[in-house]
Amino acid sequence: MPGDRLTAEDRRRIAEGLAAGLTYAEIARRLGRSRSTVTREIARNGGPHGYQAARAQHTTSWRARRRKRTPHTDVPHTTDNRDVRTAREFEEQFVAMMIETGLAPMTARVLAALFLSEGGSLTAAELVQHLRVSPATISNAIKWLEQREMVVREREARRVRYFVDVDVWYHTWAASARAMAIWADTTRHGAGIFGTDTPTGDRLRTTSQFFELLGHDMAQAAEHWRQTLSMQRQR
């Protein structure tokens, strides 16, 4: 039924649909599910290139067992119960690193909290309690992360839980590669307008060459990682 949780058979059909090159919308129609349900399922379990039905089923079962066994807390924690102060210190270091490399402070704090939580997920209320900020502040940070496919959401009864996407870094890197391609195309167009025999045109041409090469290398690196991760999951 559309309102029920996905079954092992549903996941097998999703994997078959991806292998056949079907769109998410077509897979959803064949399952009688919403497109958002299929999209979240694939995003949380390896993405379109790394999705495996058996692994997705196992991971979902593990999450369900863990939730029953261990209540969620607002403090990111580790499975070996390391000192909370040490975990907090690392969280601050993790946040500082992300801010230094370009992420907005609150977005970095939200991503770090999700990333360091035991299950890689927290509700909005848990994020509010942990970070001691308003729900609106959490919502804005989550929106930015969702737009870049860095987190996904799943509804649990009357609340929404946010998960760090298993392919978060692949998506981020691939998005950066696409941005480089846009820069390359735009500056190449500008070089044609101004003429490469002019200082402005020459500057635009050189910029275009730089971003074209950088984007190509980034796309290759992202694909190499995807293939490596896929092989690791098959072992």
DSSP string, 183-213: HHHHHHHHHHHH-TTSHHHHHHHHHHHHHHH
Stretches where the chain sits below pLDDT 70 are 1-4, 62-82, 165-166, 229-230, 232-235
Domain ranges of the chain: 8-69, 84-164, 168-234
For residue 162 the two structure tokens come to 């946010």
* Burial class, 51, CB count within 10 angstroms (exposed 0-12 / middle 13-18 / buried 19+): buried
* Model confidence, pTM: 0.59
Query: In whole angstroms, what is the distance from residue 148 CA to residue 157 CA?
Result: 26
- Which residues contact residue 112 at a Cβ distance below 8 angstroms, ignoring those fewer than 6 apart? 76, 91, 94, 95, 98
pLDDT of the residue at 52? 83
Query: In whole angstroms, what is the distance from residue 224 CA to residue 157 CA?
Result: 39
pLDDT of the residue at 1? 44
For residue 235 the two structure tokens come to 């072992």
pLDDT of the residue at 174? 79
pLDDT of the residue at 35? 85
pLDDT of the residue at 57? 80
Neighbours of 211 (CB within 10 A): 19
pLDDT of the residue at 71? 47
Element (H, E) at 232: helix 199-234
Query: In whole angstroms, what is the distance from residue 87 CA to residue 194 CA?
Result: 55
User: How far are the Cα atoms of 15, 145, 155, 173, 185 from residue 223, in angstroms, in the given order?
Assistant: 20, 22, 31, 10, 21
Angle at 121 between CA 220 and CA 142, to 5 degrees: 70
Give the three-state DSSP class for 70: coil
* Burial class, 32, CB count within 10 angstroms (exposed 0-12 / middle 13-18 / buried 19+): exposed
pLDDT of the residue at 74? 44
Burial 14-24 (b: 16+ CB within 10 A, else e): bbebbeeebeb
Architecture of the domain whose range is 84-164 = Orthogonal Bundle (1.10)
